[in-house]
Amino acid sequence: MNAIAAEWMKARTLRSTWWALGVAVFVSLGLTLAGAGTVVARWAGVAQSPDQTAMGIVVAVYVGVILAQLPLGMLGTMTITGEHASGMLDVTRTATPSVTRILLAKAAVLTGASLAVSLLIAVPGYVYGRFLAADHHPSLLPAQVWPVIAGGTLMIVVTTLLGLSLGALLRNGAAATAALVAIVLVLPLVARMLPWGEVANRLLPAIPALQLIKQMPPVMPDAAAFAVLGAWGVVPLAIAAVVMRRS
C-alpha cells in the first residue's frame, strides 16, 4: 500500500498527469455528447423498446469513452519513461527494491485514473443521452448494457496499462507511444489486408473491444473477447516485470 500511495503522490504532483487526464476527459466527453446527439436524432419517428433505447445510449457513450484511450495510454508510458529518462527510477528502487511491486503500484494508480476518466465521460454522457431520448422512455440499465459497459471500461484500462508495460520495456516515451498506437490502431487496419489477418485481428485488442461495444458483428464469444482484451493488460505487464527484474 505504501508503494501505491507513493505512486499516486508522484502522479498527482506532475502537471503532465493533469494535462493527459484533462485532454482525455474533455475531448472524449465533447465527442460523446455530440455522438449521443447524432444517434438519438436518428431515432426520430422510430418505434423502439425502452431497453433498446437504453442500450443505444450506452453504446453511443462507450464509443466516446474509448476515444480517451490514447491520452491515457500516453499517461501510462509517461509514468515509467519519465523515470527512465531522468534516472529517478533508481531513487524509486532504493525506496521500493522490488520492481514488480513498483510496476504493480503504478498499474494500480493508472487503473484508478482510467476508471475515473471512464466514469467522468460515461456518466454525464449517459445522463445527457437519456435527456435527449426522453420521448422514447429509456429503461435504466437493462441486463444487455452491462457487457458494453464492462467491455468499454476494460478497453480503456487495458490501453493505459499497455502504455505502462511498453514504457517499461522500451524505456523511451516516443518509442513506447509509437508501439502503443501501432498495436491499438495501426495493426488492426493492416491485418485486414493480410492473408492471416482475420485470425491475427482476433488476438489484437481492437477487434474484441469493438465487438464488446457493438461496433462490429461478433467474431468470437463475448467471454473470449473479454479474455483477449484482459490478456493485453496483464501479459505485457508480467513480461515487463520479468525483464526489469533481470536488468
Partner 1 sequence: MIEVTGLTKRFGGAPAVDDLSFTVTPGRITGFLGANGAGKTTTMRLILGLERPASGTATVNGLPYRRLERPLTQVGALLDATAIQGGRRADQHLRWLARANGLSARRVGGLLDLVGLGEAGRKRVGGFSLGMKQRLGMAAALLGDPEVLLLDEPINGLDPEGIRWTRDLLRSLAAEGRTVLVSSHLMNEMAVTADHLIVIGRGRLLADAAIADLVRPGGSLEDAFLDVITRSEA
Catalog residues that contact partner 1 under the rule CB under 8 A. 2-3, 5-7, 9-10, 13-16, 82-83, 86-88, 90-98
| Degrees, nearest 5: CA angle 17-20-24 | 140
Residue type at position 197:
G
What's the min distance (Å) between Cβ of 94 and partner 1?
A: 5
Q: How far apart are CA 233 and CA 159, in angstroms?
A: 7
11 vs 154 by CB, closer to partner 1: 11
Q: Please provide the DSSP assignment of 125-154 as one string.
A: HHHHHHHHTGGG---S--TTHHHHHHHHHH
What's the min distance (Å) between Cβ of 77 and partner 1?
A: 15
32 vs 79 by CB, closer to partner 1: 79
What's the min distance (Å) between Cβ of 34 and partner 1?
A: 33
Candidates 167, 18, 19, 170; CA nearest to 79 is 167
13 vs 140 by CB, closer to partner 1: 13
Candidates 161, 160, 152; CA nearest to 126 is 152
What's the min distance (Å) between Cβ of 28 and partner 1?
A: 25
What's the min distance (Å) between Cβ of 78 and partner 1?
A: 10
5 vs 127 by CB, closer to partner 1: 5
96 vs 172 by CB, closer to partner 1: 96
Residue type at position 166:
L
Candidates 214, 234, 17, 207; CA nearest to 109 is 17
